[in-house]
Structure 1
Amino acid sequence: MNDNIADFGLDTATLAGPLEHRLGALREAGFSQVLLQARDLAAHAGGFDAAVAAVKASGLRVAALQSLRDFEGLQGPLHDYKVDVAKAMLETCRALGCRLLVVTSSTAAAQPGGDVDAMARDLRKLAMLAVPMGVRIAYKAVAAGRHVNDFAIAWDVVSRADCPNLGLGLDACHALGACTPLDTLDDIDPEKLFLVQLADALSEAPAGGGHALEVFPGEGMLSARLAELVVRLDRLGYRGAYGLSACNDDALQLPPARVAQRARRAAEWLAEDVLRRSMPLPNLMRLRGAQAD
């Protein structure tokens, strides 16, 4: 294993094939941790217990389980239903030995108003449910969020909730695509930033909604700004995990080992060229030149 990339993990949604093959590809590429999708376990051909056993047998640490959606700001039966879903996902975290559950900002049309204090109360309730499991909650803004679609707003909600095991998840590609000023990061307590997810983009998000063509860091048009963001977070004192992803149809049509190697090159670029954790390698062209292999 390369110690320089020990805090980088790969999102399993980026890879095709059975769970065991994807985990093996990550391990062979030199990763020591993984970001799991809950559906990886629920859809496993051998059942949930077999999926958990496969993850444990891989030797990979589960950096985060993704994602609890549309949780905060609901009322009545919808709220009760989501609490039951949350409890099940926390049990999954415990079964995996995973210490972090990602919660994405609600996109539900049923979410009333935009009461930040009400959302904070819901997230505080979730965090308290997670305490006996030894699990932390990372609240992440998504572009389609009904009331929380920017990490600065998500940080406001987390701050109001004021719970030790509740923090922020940062989707860097979304933040940069939304042109959120990087100075806003200075307002965030690095101890309350629990996860940073990194992806690049080969195009801008299409007009009228949708997603940009996502690639690994260093392969797209956001590379320079991603590098600036990562350096800024490092200087602020962030020492948590970085999750890499490149969720696109092309990646899902390639052997997982090949995609995992691309992720490895991205992790090395970030660790060695951007964060300067060892002798600097030439520059961004080293990464891009490798794509022609």
Structure 2
Amino acid sequence: MRTSIATVCLSGSLTEKLHACAAAGFDGVEIMDTDLTMAYESPEEIRALCDRLGLRIEMFQPFRDFEGVAPALLEDNLRRARAKFEVMEKLGTELVLVCSNAATATVDDDAEIAAQLGQLADLAAEYGIRVAYEALAWGRHVNDYRHAWRLVRMADRPNLGACLDSFHILARGHDPAQIEEFDGEKIFFLQLADAPLLSMDVLSWSRHHRLFPGEGGFPLTDFLGHVLRAGYAGPLSLEVFNDTYRQTEVRSTAAHARRSLAWLADQTSAANGWQHDRLPSSQEPGAVDFTEISAADLTALDETLHQLGFTFRGTHQTKPVRLWTWGQARIILNEQTRAETPRLSGIGLQVQDGEASLRRGLALGAERAFRRTYTGEHDLRALKAPDGTHVYLNDLPAENSWIPEFHGGQQDPRQEGRVDHINLSYRWHDFEEAVLFFHSVLGLRADVGENVAGPEGLVRSQVMRTADKTLRLPLNLAPPTASMPPRHIAVHCQDIIGIAQRARDNGLTFLQVPGNYYRDLQARTGLDPTLLGQLQRLDLLYDADETGEFIHFYTPTFGDLFLEVVERIDGYDGYGAPNAPIRLAAQRRPR
């Protein structure tokens, strides 16, 4: 698999972009004309830099608004083209992208358009250049890839072919299956982009909201399968216009982009039974092994876990690390750091084959995480998520692997407790990369996202989960100017009212819920007054859907995290989303 990326995907100067692309492992680049125009380096210097970096300049793009014009304008367009071809000679690239005309002063005449494309191809041939014609989704007369293909065939020039762009095809809802009827040798180039499924004008959607493969809702695996079965043999190239990616750190974004192509190639090969471009198989986690909280002093969390009813299982035999459990819910308190603010530093997952999961993550460009391990201790394999959180991969039962390293505690009498979900918050520049990491490395699938109103703006929530929902990771995107919402660990229990009462009797103060919430709750649901009174007295929150009910409460916030205790009654499958604004406002109040 040859890989390429358009420089428009990345932030920085052209030379910074090229260095980042090479570091990420791309084989080539599409150079955007604007990036070259803004560069202080000459085309010859850019060519020499690409040679030194081992990057092939796959294509120069775009050349716009050429075809379907009056004769006088055609002459001027050919003049513009000649100037671009001279630049391309200096760059050392032989393929130019020509987008279908989006201007209004054009004619809807296929014969005329094909004749003019033929003239452009003849001019390009004088420079040894090939022309890849692309149907823009908002093209004035040509906005369907099949129409563009007919025009290429009508023009009938050996150096004129098609450029297929997944966004322009899938955003308009066109069926890509007919690509398989094309001559693969005449598909000169392929551009790939994912996108969220939005209802908006296609130009704004394209210019601001494209995503890397695996982050949106487009069926890119099917799309790429059609292109490859047609016989396309060129590079897989990314063309992603996205406001976030053009502001984030360029090397991180380039690595993120390269991971998306590796994932897409692997998924496409798997779907078609091909053996090339395969990664080690993905394994959905079978359960949450543990969660880890780190800070220099976690005494306050020890007290809270005791008040909630967790069992202290002991201190690690060689490290200042403590273990608390509630059935299968295991929380590790790690004081091997000087950081004063508690944070969720690690998530342990049970997988079928930890080594294979690790190899898959490394093949996708994830960084391996290491922890200090002494002779005789269980070696937990780990990867770093994009935000630095360690993701541990254990293929042995916890009781037989790492739990025996803790001494001085008690046995846990509970069997019903488990981690219900782990809520992770991200800044605007890390969110999409986190979605791709959990999707590509761990094989998690994405539920439909939703927006939650908070006191500092809308919080976008995207749940990543296993098929059986034993692992649920709601990912929250904070508004750009807002405080980062704290992360939290939610523990599932039975008899939450009794548990809350015992925790209150033990001295635990819950997150305070305003009285207005309960008045509104009674009006919306008509709850039994006795139950409503219990909920209000204990600061419990309530939600229900067509299948069941949900009762939950929150502890105070410790640094960047807090704990949640939940009970799912019958078939309730949500996360109490209507209560999220109440929680966010209550957590903001002490600050």
2:22 to 24, 27, 31: 27
The 3 A distance-change label for structure 1 pair 279 and 108 is closer
Q: Distance in 2 between matches of 1:284 and 1:194?
A: 36
Paired residue for 2:264?
270
Q: Is the 2:47–2:91 contact (alpha carbons within 8 Å) kept by the matching residues of 1? A: yes
The 3 A distance-change label for structure 1 pair 282 and 246 is farther
Give the AA of the match of 1:260.
A
Paired residue for 2:186?
192
Asked if 1:289 is matched to 2:288, the reply is no
Paired residue for 1:258?
252
Asked if 1:131 is matched to 2:280, the reply is no
Instruction: Specify the SS of the correspondent of 1:196.
Output: strand
Deviations 1:137-160 (A, max 9, x none): 000000111000010110011010
Instruction: Specify the SS of the correspondent of 1:237.
Output: coil
Instruction: Specify the SS of the correspondent of 2:161.
Output: strand
Paired residue for 1:168?
162
Summarize the alignment of residues 4-15 of structure 1 with structure 2, pairs less than 5 Å apart.
Answer: 5=1, 7-15=2-10
The 3 A distance-change label for structure 1 pair 50 and 208 is closer
Q: Distance in 2 between matches of 1:239 and 1:136?
A: 16
2:104 to 104, 109, 131: 109
Instruction: Specify the SS of the correspondent of 2:111.
Output: helix
Deviations 1:241-284 (A, max 9, x none): 22113221110111110110111111111223322424443359
Q: Is the 1:177–1:204 contact (alpha carbons within 8 Å) kept by the matching residues of 2? A: no
Instruction: Specify the SS of the correspondent of 2:221.
Output: helix
Q: Distance in 2 between matches of 1:32 and 1:229?
A: 22
Calculate percent identity across the aligned residue pairs: 34
Give the AA of the match of 2:72.
P
Paired residue for 2:457?
none
Q: Is the 1:34–1:60 contact (alpha carbons within 8 Å) kept by the matching residues of 2? A: yes
Give the AA of the match of 2:217.
M
Give the AA of the match of 1:103.
V
Give the AA of the match of 1:122.
Q
Asked if 1:221 is matched to 2:217, the reply is yes
Structure with a larger share of its residues in strand = 2
The 3 A distance-change label for structure 1 pair 283 and 235 is farther
Q: Distance in 2 between matches of 1:30 and 1:57?
A: 14
Structure with a larger share of its residues in helix = 1
The 3 A distance-change label for structure 1 pair 127 and 108 is same
Q: Distance in 2 between matches of 1:85 and 1:186?
A: 34
Structure 2 unaligned blocks of 5 or more: 270-274, 285-360, 362-435, 441-474, 476-591
Q: Is the 2:214–2:439 contact (alpha carbons within 8 Å) kept by the matching residues of 1? A: no
Q: Distance in 2 between matches of 1:284 and 1:228?
A: 21
Relative to structure 2, which stretch is displaced further, 191-200 or 207-216?
A: 207-216
1:221 shift after superposition: 0.8
1:288 shift after superposition: 4.0
Instruction: Specify the SS of the correspondent of 2:25.
Output: coil
Report how many residues are paired: 284
Q: Distance in 2 between matches of 1:283 and 1:178?
A: 32
Structure 1 unaligned blocks of 5 or more: none
2:58 to 59, 63, 81: 63
TM-score (norm 1): 0.90
2:242 to 243, 248, 262: 248
Paired residue for 1:158?
152
The 3 A distance-change label for structure 1 pair 129 and 45 is same
Give the AA of the match of 1:183.
A
Asked if 1:201 is matched to 2:201, the reply is no
Q: Distance in 1 between matches of 2:11 and 2:130?
A: 28
Deviations 1:13-50 (A, max 9, x none): 01111111100000000111001111222221345554
1:179 shift after superposition: 1.3
The 3 A distance-change label for structure 1 pair 248 and 154 is same
1:179 to 173, 177, 181: 173
Q: Is the 2:180–2:229 contact (alpha carbons within 8 Å) kept by the matching residues of 1? A: no
Give the AA of the match of 1:258.
S
Q: Is the 2:10–2:246 contact (alpha carbons within 8 Å) kept by the matching residues of 1? A: yes
Q: Distance in 1 between matches of 2:227 and 2:203?
A: 29
Q: Distance in 2 between matches of 1:37 and 1:278?
A: 28
Deviations 1:158-207 (A, max 9, x none): 01001111000011122111111122213311111101100000232514
The 3 A distance-change label for structure 1 pair 168 and 207 is closer
Q: Is the 1:217–1:226 contact (alpha carbons within 8 Å) kept by the matching residues of 2? A: yes
TM-score (norm 2): 0.46
Q: Is the 1:41–1:52 contact (alpha carbons within 8 Å) kept by the matching residues of 2? A: no
Q: Distance in 2 between matches of 1:134 and 1:236?
A: 25
Relative to structure 2, which stretch is displaced further, 117-126 or 91-100?
A: 91-100
Instruction: Specify the SS of the correspondent of 2:108.
Output: coil
Q: Distance in 2 between matches of 1:153 and 1:284?
A: 42
Instruction: Specify the SS of the correspondent of 2:126.
Output: helix
Q: RMSD in angstroms over aligned alpha carbons?
A: 2.1
